[in-house]
C-alpha cells in the first residue's frame, strides 16, 4: 500500500514548503543538539512506537542499529521500564518522551517527578532540546500516520 499523499510532491505548495522547514528543524535537533546521540535515537524511536508510526519506527530502529546500538537495546526500547540495558539518564529521557507523547491519552503530561529526574541528568539547554525533539517527532508521527506512510523500506543512515 502506498501513502495517501506525498507532502513534498509539489515544491511550490504551501504544505511542501512547511514540510521542508519542519524537516530542517528536525534535522537541526538531531545534528546540533548536545543531547547524546543514543538518547536522541531512543527517544524518537519510543515516541514513534507509541504513536503507531510504522515508517518512523522503521527509520529510527534501523538508524539506531546503523549507529551501533545493539539489537537488544533497539528491541527493548518498547519495554524499557522492564529492561536492564538502559542507563538512568536514558531512562529519564524515555520517561519524559513517554509522558510527553501520551498527552492525548489524558495522562496529564509530564509529571514533576519525571521532570525532576530528567533535570538530574541534563542541563537546561539539553532539557529544552529534549522538549523540542519530542514535540517534533510527535508532529512527524502524526503526519505520517494521517497520510498512511508505511514502514519497512527505509535504508539505514539516510536520515539522522
**Closest by Cα among 52, 48, 84 to 64:** 48
Average pLDDT over residues 19-30: 88
**Closest by Cα among 47, 65, 64, 48 to 56:** 48
C-beta of residue 96 within 8 angstroms of C-beta of residue 118: yes
C-beta of residue 6 within 8 angstroms of C-beta of residue 148: no
Output the pLDDT for position 13. 81
pLDDT top residue among 142 and 5: 142
Average pLDDT over residues 113-123: 98
Encode pLDDT of 25-42 as tens digits.
988 988 999 999 999 999
Output the pLDDT for position 11. 66
Q: Residue 149 — pLDDT band, cuts 50, 70, 90? A: confident
- CATH code linked to domain 14-146: 1.20.1290.10
Whether residue 160 has pLDDT greater than 60: no
* Percent of the chain at pLDDT exceeding 70: 95
- Separation of alpha carbons 24 and 105, rounded Å: 29
- Separation of alpha carbons 38 and 2, rounded Å: 31
Output the pLDDT for position 113. 97
pTM (two decimals): 0.91
Whether residue 123 has pLDDT greater than 80: yes
Output the pLDDT for position 157. 67
Output the pLDDT for position 20. 87
Output the pLDDT for position 62. 95
Output the pLDDT for position 105. 81
pLDDT top residue among 2 and 125: 125
Amino acid at each position: 500500500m502506498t501513502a495517501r499523499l506525498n507532502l513534498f510532491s509539489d515544491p511550490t505548495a504551501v504544505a511542501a514548503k512547511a514540510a521542508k522547514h519542519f524537516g530542517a528543524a528536525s534535522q537541526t535537533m538531531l545534528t546540533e543538539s548536545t543531547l547524546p546521540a543514543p538518547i536522541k535515537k531512543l527517544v524518537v524511536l519510543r515516541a514513534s512506537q507509541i504513536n503507531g508510526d510504522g515508517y518512523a519506527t522503521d527509520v529510527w530502529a534501523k538508524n539506531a542499529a546503523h549507529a551501533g546500538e545493539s539489537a537488544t537495546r533497539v528491541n527493548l526500547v518498547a519495554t524499557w521500564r522492564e529492561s536492564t540495558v538502559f542507563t538512568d539518564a536514558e531512562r529519564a529521557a524515555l520517561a519524559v518522551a513517554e509522558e510527553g507523547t501520551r498527552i492525548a491519552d489524558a495522562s496529564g503530561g509530564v509529571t514533576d517527578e519525571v521532570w525532576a529526574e530528567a533535570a538530574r541528568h541534563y542541563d537546561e539547554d539539553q532539557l529544552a532540546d529534549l522538549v523540542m525533539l519530542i514535540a517534533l517527532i510527535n508532529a512527524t508521527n502524526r503526519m505520517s500516520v494521517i497520510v498512511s506512510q508505511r514502514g519497512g523500506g527505509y535504508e539505514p543512515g539516510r536520515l539522522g
